[in-house]
Chains A and B, each alone.
Chain A
Amino acid sequence: NAGVTQTPKFQVLKTGQSMTLQCAQDMNHNSMYWYRQDPGMGLRLIYYSASEGTTDKGEVPNGYNVSRLNKREFSLRLESAAPSQTSVYFCASKTGVQETQYFGPGTRLLVL
């Protein structure tokens, strides 16, 4: 039981490049989330998916797109990376009933 896994662990991009961050969970959770963590800002919600087939914007969605591929997988795409998107990105999941969110280990992204 791996919990929440994220790939890649580290990535360096040039401004304007695109990439997709992958997230998968094996806990049969309904809801999945993408956050970014910046110094002094805590975690800010980018997008979330309450259930398979649905996605909704969070606090800071601009510059990102998401896909809930199936119940297990939720990907985050940066179409044209900007230096302001340099951050640590966390994926999380939870069941529909409990409020506990389980987090992955994070992806560290540097945009030059």
Chain B
Amino acid sequence: TQLLEQSPQFLSIQEGENLTVYCNSSSVFSSLQWYRQEPGEGPVLLVTVVTGGEVKKLKRLTFQFGDARKDSSLHITAAQPGDTGLYLCAGARGAQKLVFGQGTRLTINP
């Protein structure tokens, strides 16, 4: 049972387009994190959202935590080839554990 469902699992778009990745659950999380993973490397944290309705921006990336703290979205404006990678959302369960979504493999074509 996947507690966090990411969609889409694969996305291939042209440079300059906008995109949104979704992370949904029926469970409430104390916080939600987004990671990016490059081939052959471990995931690297992009952002943590804690408060329901919270919006955080990281350059062209906008992260939003749902009001009920069950879902989140990642929006990329004017995607660049350097944005290519695997994006993972992870929900915090208590003080120690993270539950990860399946990941979204994003390819930005020049």
Contact = CB atoms under 8 A, between A and B. Distances in A.
Interface stretch (B55-63, B76-84, B95-103): B95-103
Interface residues of A, number: 24
Given A40-B9, A99-B33, A104 B42 contact: yes
A102 B44 CA distance: 7
A4 B42 contact: yes
Given A31-B96, A50-B96, A106 B102 contact: no
A69 interface: no
A68 B90 CA distance: 24
A20 B48 CA distance: 33
B75 to A, nearest CB: 20
Interface of B: 2, 4, 6, 9, 31, 33, 40-45, 48, 88, 90, 92, 95-103
Interface of A: 4, 31, 35, 40-45, 48, 50, 56, 58, 90, 92, 96, 99-106
